[in-house]
Amino acid sequence: MTEHTRRNVLWGGLAATAAGIAAPALGTAPAEAAAPFTSPPPPASEVGRGDPRYPSLAGRGYNRRFVGDPEHVWVVGTTEDVVRAVQKAVDTGKRVTVRSGGHGFEGFVGDPAVQVVVDTSAMTGVYYDASRRAFAVEAGALLGDVYRRLYLGWGVTIPAGWCPTVGAGGHVPGGGFGPLSRMLGLAVDHLHGVEVVVVGRDGRARGVVATADASDPNRDLWWAHTGGGGGTFGIVTRYWFRTPGARGDDPSRLLPAPPSTALTFSVDWDWKKIDKAGFERLVRNHGTWVERNSAPGSPATALYSELQLSRAAFGTIGMIGQVAAGSGLPAAERLLDDHIAAINEGVPVTPVRTVRGRDWLAAALAGSPGDPGPLYRLKVKSAYLRRRLTDRQIDVLHRHLTRTDYDHPGAFLSLYTFGGQVNTARPDATAAPHRDTIMKVFLINGWEDVADDARHIAFTREVYRDLFADTGGVPAADDGAFINYPDTDLADPALNNGAPWHVLYFRDNYPRLQQIKAKWDPHDVFRHALSVRAT
Protein backbone atom coordinates (compact mmCIF):
# COMPACT_ATOMS: atom_id res chain seq x y z
CA MET A 1 0.00 0.00 0.00
CA THR A 2 1.50 3.37 -1.03
CA GLU A 3 1.86 6.34 1.31
CA HIS A 4 -0.86 8.14 -0.69
CA THR A 5 -3.18 5.17 -0.28
CA ARG A 6 -2.40 4.88 3.42
CA ARG A 7 -3.26 8.54 3.93
CA ASN A 8 -6.49 8.12 1.97
CA VAL A 9 -7.49 5.22 4.24
CA LEU A 10 -6.84 7.32 7.31
CA TRP A 11 -8.50 10.51 6.17
CA GLY A 12 -11.30 8.69 4.37
CA GLY A 13 -12.34 7.09 7.65
CA LEU A 14 -12.05 10.31 9.59
CA ALA A 15 -13.97 12.41 7.12
CA ALA A 16 -16.91 10.09 7.56
CA THR A 17 -16.66 9.42 11.27
CA ALA A 18 -16.74 12.92 12.66
CA ALA A 19 -20.12 13.28 11.10
CA GLY A 20 -21.94 10.74 13.27
CA ILE A 21 -22.46 8.45 10.36
CA ALA A 22 -25.84 7.01 9.53
CA ALA A 23 -26.22 3.30 10.14
CA PRO A 24 -28.81 2.45 7.47
CA ALA A 25 -27.74 4.90 4.75
CA LEU A 26 -25.69 3.86 1.72
CA GLY A 27 -26.44 6.47 -0.97
CA THR A 28 -24.19 7.84 -3.67
CA ALA A 29 -25.37 11.37 -4.47
CA PRO A 30 -22.45 13.87 -4.33
CA ALA A 31 -22.75 17.16 -2.47
CA GLU A 32 -22.48 19.25 -5.62
CA ALA A 33 -25.51 17.50 -7.11
CA ALA A 34 -27.90 18.83 -4.47
CA ALA A 35 -31.11 20.36 -5.77
CA PRO A 36 -31.63 24.14 -5.70
CA PHE A 37 -33.82 25.69 -3.03
CA THR A 38 -37.00 25.47 -5.12
CA SER A 39 -36.24 22.48 -7.32
CA PRO A 40 -39.32 20.28 -7.92
CA PRO A 41 -38.87 16.61 -7.05
CA PRO A 42 -38.15 14.20 -9.89
CA PRO A 43 -40.84 11.71 -10.85
CA ALA A 44 -40.64 8.47 -8.92
CA SER A 45 -39.09 5.60 -10.79
CA GLU A 46 -38.66 1.91 -10.11
CA VAL A 47 -35.22 0.93 -11.36
CA GLY A 48 -34.66 -2.76 -12.03
CA ARG A 49 -31.62 -4.79 -13.02
CA GLY A 50 -32.08 -4.12 -16.74
CA ASP A 51 -32.03 -0.35 -16.31
CA PRO A 52 -28.68 1.38 -17.07
CA ARG A 53 -29.07 3.35 -13.83
CA TYR A 54 -29.19 0.18 -11.75
CA PRO A 55 -25.42 -0.24 -11.13
CA SER A 56 -25.17 3.31 -9.79
CA LEU A 57 -28.16 2.86 -7.51
CA ALA A 58 -27.70 -0.71 -6.32
CA GLY A 59 -23.93 -0.94 -6.28
CA ARG A 60 -21.44 -0.55 -3.53
CA GLY A 61 -21.82 1.85 -0.67
CA TYR A 62 -19.21 3.47 1.54
CA ASN A 63 -18.03 0.12 2.91
CA ARG A 64 -17.04 -2.12 0.01
CA ARG A 65 -17.37 -5.24 2.11
CA PHE A 66 -21.10 -5.10 1.40
CA VAL A 67 -22.53 -5.16 -2.12
CA GLY A 68 -26.25 -4.71 -2.68
CA ASP A 69 -28.21 -6.74 -5.22
CA PRO A 70 -31.87 -5.80 -4.75
CA GLU A 71 -34.53 -6.67 -7.30
CA HIS A 72 -35.10 -2.97 -7.79
CA VAL A 73 -34.47 0.47 -6.33
CA TRP A 74 -37.14 3.11 -5.97
CA VAL A 75 -35.90 6.64 -6.65
CA VAL A 76 -38.40 8.78 -4.78
CA GLY A 77 -39.07 12.50 -4.61
CA THR A 78 -42.02 12.85 -2.25
CA THR A 79 -43.53 11.20 0.80
CA GLU A 80 -46.33 9.91 -1.41
CA ASP A 81 -43.72 8.16 -3.57
CA VAL A 82 -42.31 6.46 -0.49
CA VAL A 83 -45.77 5.33 0.61
CA ARG A 84 -46.39 3.83 -2.81
CA ALA A 85 -43.00 2.06 -2.87
CA VAL A 86 -43.39 0.63 0.62
CA GLN A 87 -46.96 -0.50 -0.03
CA LYS A 88 -45.93 -2.36 -3.16
CA ALA A 89 -43.13 -4.08 -1.24
CA VAL A 90 -45.52 -5.09 1.54
CA ASP A 91 -48.18 -6.31 -0.89
CA THR A 92 -45.66 -8.49 -2.74
CA GLY A 93 -43.91 -9.74 0.40
CA LYS A 94 -40.58 -8.12 -0.45
CA ARG A 95 -37.95 -7.15 2.14
CA VAL A 96 -37.56 -3.35 1.99
CA THR A 97 -35.00 -0.91 3.35
CA VAL A 98 -33.96 2.73 2.89
CA ARG A 99 -30.86 4.61 1.75
CA SER A 100 -30.18 8.33 1.97
CA GLY A 101 -26.66 9.79 2.02
CA GLY A 102 -24.52 6.71 1.71
CA HIS A 103 -22.15 6.24 4.65
CA GLY A 104 -23.25 3.04 6.36
CA PHE A 105 -20.57 0.91 8.02
CA GLU A 106 -22.49 -2.37 8.22
CA GLY A 107 -24.39 -4.28 5.54
CA PHE A 108 -27.87 -3.09 6.45
CA VAL A 109 -28.65 -1.97 2.88
CA GLY A 110 -26.26 -4.39 1.19
CA ASP A 111 -27.88 -7.35 2.98
CA PRO A 112 -28.59 -10.13 0.43
CA ALA A 113 -32.05 -10.51 2.00
CA VAL A 114 -33.01 -6.96 0.94
CA GLN A 115 -35.12 -7.04 -2.21
CA VAL A 116 -36.27 -3.42 -2.45
CA VAL A 117 -34.29 -0.28 -1.66
CA VAL A 118 -36.04 3.06 -1.30
CA ASP A 119 -33.49 5.70 -2.30
CA THR A 120 -34.29 9.15 -0.88
CA SER A 121 -31.22 10.92 -2.30
CA ALA A 122 -33.41 13.05 -4.59
CA MET A 123 -35.33 14.45 -1.60
CA THR A 124 -32.98 17.36 -0.88
CA GLY A 125 -35.26 20.22 0.19
CA VAL A 126 -34.15 22.55 2.99
CA TYR A 127 -36.55 25.39 3.75
CA TYR A 128 -38.38 27.32 6.44
CA ASP A 129 -41.86 25.95 7.16
CA ALA A 130 -43.83 28.87 8.58
CA SER A 131 -46.79 26.65 9.45
CA ARG A 132 -44.62 24.77 11.94
CA ARG A 133 -42.25 27.58 12.85
CA ALA A 134 -39.42 25.21 12.04
CA PHE A 135 -36.88 24.41 9.34
CA ALA A 136 -37.71 21.43 7.16
CA VAL A 137 -34.88 19.16 6.01
CA GLU A 138 -35.73 16.32 3.67
CA ALA A 139 -34.13 12.93 4.23
CA GLY A 140 -31.84 12.99 1.20
CA ALA A 141 -30.32 16.38 1.94
CA LEU A 142 -26.57 16.17 2.55
CA LEU A 143 -25.20 17.91 5.60
CA GLY A 144 -23.10 20.32 3.55
CA ASP A 145 -26.22 21.52 1.76
CA VAL A 146 -28.11 21.78 5.05
CA TYR A 147 -25.38 24.01 6.48
CA ARG A 148 -25.16 26.13 3.34
CA ARG A 149 -28.88 26.71 2.99
CA LEU A 150 -29.61 27.34 6.66
CA TYR A 151 -26.70 29.72 7.07
CA LEU A 152 -26.97 31.69 3.82
CA GLY A 153 -30.74 31.89 4.12
CA TRP A 154 -31.18 32.68 7.81
CA GLY A 155 -27.80 32.72 9.56
CA VAL A 156 -28.52 29.57 11.60
CA THR A 157 -27.36 25.97 11.78
CA ILE A 158 -27.79 22.63 13.52
CA PRO A 159 -24.90 20.95 15.42
CA ALA A 160 -24.57 17.96 13.13
CA GLY A 161 -21.65 16.07 11.59
CA TRP A 162 -18.32 17.16 10.19
CA CYS A 163 -18.54 15.31 6.86
CA PRO A 164 -20.59 17.37 4.35
CA THR A 165 -21.52 14.37 2.19
CA VAL A 166 -23.40 12.47 4.91
CA GLY A 167 -27.17 12.38 4.39
CA ALA A 168 -29.60 13.69 6.99
CA GLY A 169 -31.84 10.64 6.65
CA GLY A 170 -29.71 8.22 8.65
CA HIS A 171 -27.53 10.73 10.50
CA VAL A 172 -30.24 12.35 12.60
CA PRO A 173 -32.04 9.34 14.16
CA GLY A 174 -28.73 8.10 15.56
CA GLY A 175 -28.35 11.36 17.48
CA GLY A 176 -26.00 13.23 15.19
CA PHE A 177 -22.94 15.05 16.55
CA GLY A 178 -20.11 17.17 15.22
CA PRO A 179 -17.65 19.98 16.00
CA LEU A 180 -20.32 22.27 17.50
CA SER A 181 -22.00 19.67 19.72
CA ARG A 182 -19.91 20.43 22.80
CA MET A 183 -21.30 23.98 22.60
CA LEU A 184 -24.80 23.36 21.21
CA GLY A 185 -25.74 19.74 21.97
CA LEU A 186 -26.69 16.96 19.57
CA ALA A 187 -28.59 17.52 16.34
CA VAL A 188 -31.61 15.77 17.91
CA ASP A 189 -31.61 18.27 20.76
CA HIS A 190 -32.98 20.69 18.15
CA LEU A 191 -35.33 18.23 16.42
CA HIS A 192 -38.93 19.43 16.58
CA GLY A 193 -40.63 16.95 14.28
CA VAL A 194 -40.27 14.08 11.87
CA GLU A 195 -42.31 12.68 8.99
CA VAL A 196 -42.16 8.89 8.74
CA VAL A 197 -43.71 6.36 6.41
CA VAL A 198 -44.90 3.50 8.62
CA VAL A 199 -46.87 0.29 8.07
CA GLY A 200 -49.75 -0.28 10.46
CA ARG A 201 -51.28 -3.46 11.81
CA ASP A 202 -53.65 -3.43 8.81
CA GLY A 203 -50.68 -3.68 6.46
CA ARG A 204 -51.25 -0.23 4.98
CA ALA A 205 -48.39 2.22 4.48
CA ARG A 206 -48.97 5.85 5.39
CA GLY A 207 -47.06 8.99 6.24
CA VAL A 208 -47.18 10.19 9.84
CA VAL A 209 -45.96 13.48 11.26
CA ALA A 210 -44.77 13.29 14.86
CA THR A 211 -43.54 16.25 16.90
CA ALA A 212 -42.06 17.09 20.27
CA ASP A 213 -45.26 18.83 21.35
CA ALA A 214 -46.50 17.35 24.61
CA SER A 215 -50.04 17.19 23.23
CA ASP A 216 -49.07 15.33 20.04
CA PRO A 217 -50.54 11.79 20.13
CA ASN A 218 -47.65 10.68 17.90
CA ARG A 219 -44.97 12.13 20.15
CA ASP A 220 -43.49 8.72 20.93
CA LEU A 221 -42.60 8.27 17.26
CA TRP A 222 -40.73 11.59 17.34
CA TRP A 223 -38.89 10.49 20.49
CA ALA A 224 -37.82 7.22 18.86
CA HIS A 225 -36.06 9.22 16.14
CA THR A 226 -33.98 11.22 18.62
CA GLY A 227 -31.40 8.45 19.05
CA GLY A 228 -33.18 5.15 18.38
CA GLY A 229 -31.29 4.63 15.12
CA GLY A 230 -32.44 4.60 11.52
CA GLY A 231 -34.22 1.94 9.51
CA THR A 232 -36.12 0.48 12.44
CA PHE A 233 -39.50 2.25 12.81
CA GLY A 234 -40.24 3.36 9.27
CA ILE A 235 -38.75 5.48 6.49
CA VAL A 236 -38.09 9.11 7.37
CA THR A 237 -38.90 11.55 4.60
CA ARG A 238 -38.55 14.88 6.41
CA TYR A 239 -37.29 16.47 9.64
CA TRP A 240 -38.22 19.77 11.22
CA PHE A 241 -35.71 21.61 13.41
CA ARG A 242 -36.40 24.25 16.03
CA THR A 243 -34.51 24.77 19.28
CA PRO A 244 -36.70 24.00 22.33
CA GLY A 245 -37.89 27.18 23.96
CA ALA A 246 -37.37 29.34 20.85
CA ARG A 247 -40.10 31.98 20.67
CA GLY A 248 -41.65 34.09 17.94
CA ASP A 249 -41.80 33.58 14.19
CA ASP A 250 -38.48 35.13 13.16
CA PRO A 251 -36.66 32.18 11.54
CA SER A 252 -33.25 33.62 12.43
CA ARG A 253 -34.06 33.14 16.12
CA LEU A 254 -35.40 29.59 15.98
CA LEU A 255 -32.06 27.76 15.66
CA PRO A 256 -28.61 28.67 16.99
CA ALA A 257 -26.24 30.85 15.01
CA PRO A 258 -22.85 29.27 14.35
CA PRO A 259 -19.63 31.12 15.21
CA SER A 260 -18.63 33.71 12.64
CA THR A 261 -15.25 32.07 12.11
CA ALA A 262 -13.58 28.73 12.82
CA LEU A 263 -10.02 27.62 13.39
CA THR A 264 -9.32 24.28 11.72
CA PHE A 265 -6.17 22.46 12.74
CA SER A 266 -4.11 19.32 12.37
CA VAL A 267 -1.21 18.25 14.59
CA ASP A 268 1.31 15.45 14.00
CA TRP A 269 3.75 13.66 16.29
CA ASP A 270 6.55 11.59 14.73
CA TRP A 271 5.96 7.97 15.80
CA LYS A 272 9.66 7.12 15.43
CA LYS A 273 10.54 9.63 18.15
CA ILE A 274 7.95 8.44 20.69
CA ASP A 275 8.86 5.61 23.01
CA LYS A 276 6.35 3.68 25.13
CA ALA A 277 6.59 6.13 28.04
CA GLY A 278 6.04 9.07 25.69
CA PHE A 279 3.02 7.41 24.10
CA GLU A 280 1.49 6.68 27.48
CA ARG A 281 2.13 10.23 28.64
CA LEU A 282 0.54 11.74 25.52
CA VAL A 283 -2.64 9.64 25.72
CA ARG A 284 -2.93 10.14 29.49
CA ASN A 285 -2.47 13.91 29.10
CA HIS A 286 -5.15 14.03 26.46
CA GLY A 287 -7.63 12.17 28.64
CA THR A 288 -6.88 14.37 31.64
CA TRP A 289 -7.48 17.52 29.57
CA VAL A 290 -10.83 16.19 28.36
CA GLU A 291 -11.87 15.24 31.90
CA ARG A 292 -11.15 18.80 33.06
CA ASN A 293 -12.63 20.65 30.08
CA SER A 294 -15.93 18.98 29.19
CA ALA A 295 -18.34 20.54 31.69
CA PRO A 296 -21.38 22.29 30.18
CA GLY A 297 -20.63 25.97 29.71
CA SER A 298 -16.86 25.59 29.90
CA PRO A 299 -15.07 27.95 27.47
CA ALA A 300 -13.08 24.92 26.33
CA THR A 301 -16.19 23.36 24.78
CA ALA A 302 -15.55 25.70 21.84
CA LEU A 303 -12.76 23.26 20.95
CA TYR A 304 -13.43 19.91 19.30
CA SER A 305 -10.57 17.52 18.56
CA GLU A 306 -9.92 13.97 17.44
CA LEU A 307 -6.70 12.33 18.65
CA GLN A 308 -5.74 9.73 16.03
CA LEU A 309 -3.73 6.88 17.47
CA SER A 310 -2.44 5.33 14.27
CA ARG A 311 -0.41 2.21 13.81
CA ALA A 312 3.30 2.96 14.17
CA ALA A 313 3.73 1.86 10.54
CA PHE A 314 1.71 4.87 9.47
CA GLY A 315 4.47 7.17 10.69
CA THR A 316 2.65 9.76 12.76
CA ILE A 317 0.20 10.14 15.59
CA GLY A 318 -2.22 12.87 14.60
CA MET A 319 -4.87 15.17 15.94
CA ILE A 320 -7.40 17.14 13.94
CA GLY A 321 -10.07 19.50 15.11
CA GLN A 322 -11.85 22.80 15.01
CA VAL A 323 -12.23 25.72 17.39
CA ALA A 324 -15.35 27.88 17.22
CA ALA A 325 -13.97 31.41 17.05
CA GLY A 326 -17.04 33.43 17.90
CA SER A 327 -14.97 35.73 20.13
CA GLY A 328 -12.23 36.07 17.53
CA LEU A 329 -9.32 34.09 16.17
CA PRO A 330 -6.78 35.21 18.83
CA ALA A 331 -8.91 33.70 21.63
CA ALA A 332 -9.37 30.52 19.57
CA GLU A 333 -5.63 30.31 18.97
CA ARG A 334 -4.93 30.62 22.71
CA LEU A 335 -7.39 27.81 23.45
CA LEU A 336 -5.73 25.62 20.83
CA ASP A 337 -2.25 26.47 22.15
CA ASP A 338 -3.31 25.49 25.66
CA HIS A 339 -4.85 22.24 24.37
CA ILE A 340 -1.71 21.18 22.53
CA ALA A 341 0.59 22.24 25.36
CA ALA A 342 -1.40 20.22 27.89
CA ILE A 343 -1.36 17.11 25.70
CA ASN A 344 2.35 17.44 24.94
CA GLU A 345 3.52 18.11 28.49
CA GLY A 346 6.37 15.73 29.27
CA VAL A 347 6.31 14.20 25.78
CA PRO A 348 9.81 14.37 24.25
CA VAL A 349 8.58 15.30 20.76
CA THR A 350 7.66 18.69 19.35
CA PRO A 351 4.55 18.22 17.20
CA VAL A 352 4.08 19.83 13.81
CA ARG A 353 0.88 21.83 13.50
CA THR A 354 -1.12 23.24 10.61
CA VAL A 355 -3.71 25.87 11.50
CA ARG A 356 -6.16 27.70 9.27
CA GLY A 357 -8.71 30.34 10.20
CA ARG A 358 -11.66 30.86 7.88
CA ASP A 359 -15.30 31.83 7.95
CA TRP A 360 -17.50 29.20 9.55
CA LEU A 361 -19.42 28.15 6.43
CA ALA A 362 -16.21 27.56 4.45
CA ALA A 363 -14.93 25.39 7.29
CA ALA A 364 -18.22 23.47 7.50
CA LEU A 365 -18.32 22.79 3.78
CA ALA A 366 -14.66 21.74 3.70
CA GLY A 367 -15.31 19.08 6.33
CA SER A 368 -12.52 17.43 8.30
CA PRO A 369 -8.97 18.06 7.06
CA GLY A 370 -7.52 15.76 4.43
CA ASP A 371 -8.48 13.90 1.29
CA PRO A 372 -11.52 11.61 1.68
CA GLY A 373 -9.96 9.29 -0.88
CA PRO A 374 -11.56 6.23 -2.47
CA LEU A 375 -13.78 3.69 -0.81
CA TYR A 376 -12.42 0.75 1.16
CA ARG A 377 -13.38 -2.42 2.93
CA LEU A 378 -13.95 -1.41 6.54
CA LYS A 379 -14.57 -2.66 10.04
CA VAL A 380 -15.46 -0.21 12.79
CA LYS A 381 -16.16 -0.24 16.53
CA SER A 382 -17.06 2.45 19.04
CA ALA A 383 -17.40 3.27 22.71
CA TYR A 384 -18.39 6.15 24.94
CA LEU A 385 -16.12 7.07 27.83
CA ARG A 386 -17.07 8.83 31.07
CA ARG A 387 -13.42 9.18 32.06
CA ARG A 388 -10.05 8.84 30.36
CA LEU A 389 -8.63 5.51 29.28
CA THR A 390 -7.02 3.61 32.14
CA ASP A 391 -3.28 3.00 32.22
CA ARG A 392 -3.98 -0.66 31.40
CA GLN A 393 -5.99 0.36 28.34
CA ILE A 394 -3.27 2.73 27.17
CA ASP A 395 -0.76 -0.11 27.50
CA VAL A 396 -3.05 -2.32 25.41
CA LEU A 397 -3.21 0.30 22.68
CA HIS A 398 0.54 0.75 22.57
CA ARG A 399 1.06 -3.00 22.28
CA HIS A 400 -1.38 -3.39 19.38
CA LEU A 401 -0.30 -0.25 17.56
CA THR A 402 3.36 -1.33 17.63
CA ARG A 403 2.91 -5.05 16.97
CA THR A 404 5.41 -6.43 14.47
CA ASP A 405 3.32 -9.47 13.54
CA TYR A 406 0.74 -7.21 11.88
CA ASP A 407 2.14 -4.87 9.25
CA HIS A 408 -0.98 -3.03 8.08
CA PRO A 409 -0.91 0.78 8.58
CA GLY A 410 -4.61 1.39 7.93
CA ALA A 411 -5.94 0.65 11.43
CA PHE A 412 -6.25 3.35 14.05
CA LEU A 413 -8.20 4.40 17.10
CA SER A 414 -9.47 7.95 17.55
CA LEU A 415 -10.55 9.70 20.74
CA TYR A 416 -13.17 12.39 20.11
CA THR A 417 -13.87 15.13 22.61
CA PHE A 418 -17.51 15.05 23.70
CA GLY A 419 -19.69 16.18 26.60
CA GLY A 420 -20.33 19.87 27.22
CA GLN A 421 -23.84 20.91 26.26
CA VAL A 422 -24.64 17.31 25.26
CA ASN A 423 -24.59 16.39 28.95
CA THR A 424 -27.24 18.93 29.99
CA ALA A 425 -30.11 16.75 28.77
CA ARG A 426 -31.64 13.95 30.82
CA PRO A 427 -30.81 10.44 29.55
CA ASP A 428 -34.51 9.87 28.77
CA ALA A 429 -35.24 13.31 27.29
CA THR A 430 -34.30 11.84 23.93
CA ALA A 431 -33.65 8.28 22.85
CA ALA A 432 -29.91 9.11 22.82
CA PRO A 433 -29.06 8.18 26.43
CA HIS A 434 -25.32 8.89 26.70
CA ARG A 435 -25.56 12.20 28.51
CA ASP A 436 -22.73 11.79 31.02
CA THR A 437 -19.81 11.10 28.69
CA ILE A 438 -16.71 13.09 27.80
CA MET A 439 -15.18 11.14 24.90
CA LYS A 440 -16.03 8.81 22.06
CA VAL A 441 -13.77 5.99 20.96
CA PHE A 442 -13.77 5.19 17.26
CA LEU A 443 -11.78 2.16 16.07
CA ILE A 444 -11.55 1.73 12.30
CA ASN A 445 -9.60 -0.50 9.95
CA GLY A 446 -9.57 -0.02 6.19
CA TRP A 447 -8.08 -2.17 3.42
CA GLU A 448 -8.58 -2.97 -0.28
CA ASP A 449 -8.32 -6.69 -0.98
CA VAL A 450 -11.16 -9.09 -0.14
CA ALA A 451 -8.54 -11.75 0.55
CA ASP A 452 -7.40 -9.72 3.57
CA ASP A 453 -10.82 -9.52 5.23
CA ALA A 454 -10.26 -12.17 7.88
CA ARG A 455 -6.85 -10.87 8.92
CA HIS A 456 -7.90 -7.23 9.32
CA ILE A 457 -11.24 -7.98 10.96
CA ALA A 458 -9.45 -10.27 13.43
CA PHE A 459 -6.97 -7.53 14.36
CA THR A 460 -9.75 -5.01 14.91
CA ARG A 461 -11.64 -7.43 17.12
CA GLU A 462 -8.52 -8.21 19.13
CA VAL A 463 -7.83 -4.56 19.88
CA TYR A 464 -11.40 -3.96 21.02
CA ARG A 465 -11.56 -7.16 23.06
CA ASP A 466 -8.32 -6.41 24.89
CA LEU A 467 -9.18 -2.76 25.40
CA PHE A 468 -12.38 -3.73 27.22
CA ALA A 469 -11.20 -7.03 28.70
CA ASP A 470 -12.35 -5.99 32.18
CA THR A 471 -15.99 -5.75 31.02
CA GLY A 472 -16.41 -8.82 28.82
CA GLY A 473 -14.62 -7.58 25.72
CA VAL A 474 -17.07 -4.71 25.16
CA PRO A 475 -17.53 -1.33 26.87
CA ALA A 476 -19.08 -1.19 30.32
CA ALA A 477 -22.87 -1.04 30.34
CA ASP A 478 -22.84 2.48 31.80
CA ASP A 479 -20.42 3.66 29.10
CA GLY A 480 -21.90 2.14 25.95
CA ALA A 481 -21.47 2.49 22.19
CA PHE A 482 -22.72 4.74 19.37
CA ILE A 483 -25.48 3.36 17.16
CA ASN A 484 -24.40 5.43 14.14
CA TYR A 485 -21.11 3.53 14.18
CA PRO A 486 -22.88 0.15 14.09
CA ASP A 487 -20.99 -3.02 14.93
CA THR A 488 -22.87 -6.28 14.53
CA ASP A 489 -20.21 -8.04 16.62
CA LEU A 490 -21.91 -6.60 19.70
CA ALA A 491 -24.94 -8.81 18.98
CA ASP A 492 -22.79 -11.94 18.66
CA PRO A 493 -22.54 -13.91 21.95
CA ALA A 494 -19.23 -15.36 20.79
CA LEU A 495 -17.73 -11.86 20.68
CA ASN A 496 -19.63 -10.12 23.48
CA ASN A 497 -19.33 -11.50 27.01
CA GLY A 498 -20.49 -8.29 28.62
CA ALA A 499 -23.51 -6.02 28.38
CA PRO A 500 -26.13 -6.84 25.70
CA TRP A 501 -25.87 -4.87 22.47
CA HIS A 502 -29.12 -3.02 23.07
CA VAL A 503 -27.94 -1.86 26.50
CA LEU A 504 -24.69 -0.57 25.02
CA TYR A 505 -26.52 1.40 22.36
CA PHE A 506 -29.68 2.49 24.20
CA ARG A 507 -29.15 1.89 27.94
CA ASP A 508 -32.42 2.15 29.91
CA ASN A 509 -34.27 3.63 26.93
CA TYR A 510 -34.49 0.28 25.15
CA PRO A 511 -37.75 -1.01 26.71
CA ARG A 512 -39.50 2.19 25.65
CA LEU A 513 -38.07 1.86 22.14
CA GLN A 514 -39.38 -1.70 22.03
CA GLN A 515 -42.89 -0.51 22.91
CA ILE A 516 -42.74 2.13 20.18
CA LYS A 517 -41.51 -0.46 17.69
CA ALA A 518 -44.43 -2.75 18.53
CA LYS A 519 -46.89 0.10 18.09
CA TRP A 520 -45.60 1.66 14.87
CA ASP A 521 -44.06 -1.34 13.07
CA PRO A 522 -46.02 -4.35 14.38
CA HIS A 523 -45.06 -6.52 11.40
CA ASP A 524 -41.33 -5.70 11.65
CA VAL A 525 -41.27 -4.43 8.08
CA PHE A 526 -38.27 -2.19 8.79
CA ARG A 527 -35.42 -4.17 10.24
CA HIS A 528 -31.71 -4.87 10.13
CA ALA A 529 -29.14 -6.63 12.31
CA LEU A 530 -29.20 -3.92 15.02
CA SER A 531 -32.75 -2.63 14.73
CA VAL A 532 -34.96 -2.44 17.81
CA ARG A 533 -36.82 -5.68 18.50
CA ALA A 534 -40.47 -5.33 19.51
CA THR A 535 -41.59 -6.48 22.94
- Active-site option among 128, 239, 376, 416: 416
Lowest mean pLDDT among 239-243, 310-314, 368-372: 368-372
- pLDDT number for residue 60: 65
Better-predicted residue by pLDDT, 192 or 1: 192
Q: Is residue 200 exposed (0-12), middle (13-18) or buried (19+ Cβ within 10 Å)? A: middle
- Which of 158, 127, 128, 130 shows the shortest CA–CA distance to 144? 158
**Residues of the chain with pLDDT > 90: what percent?**
86
Per-residue DSSP letter, 316? E
For residue 374, the model assigns a pLDDT of 54
Its pTM stands at 0.92
Report pLDDT for 30: 30
pLDDT at site 19 = 34
Least confident interval from 97-101, 189-193, 366-370: 366-370
The secondary structure element, H or E, covering residue 383 is: strand 377-385
Task: Note if 485 is an active site residue.
Answer: yes
**pLDDT 10s digits, 214-268:** 999 999 999 999 999 999 999 999 999 999 999 999 999 999 999 999 999 999 9
Given strand 411-417, what is the order of strands in its sheet?
352-359, 261-270, 316-324, 303-310, 411-417, 439-447, 377-385
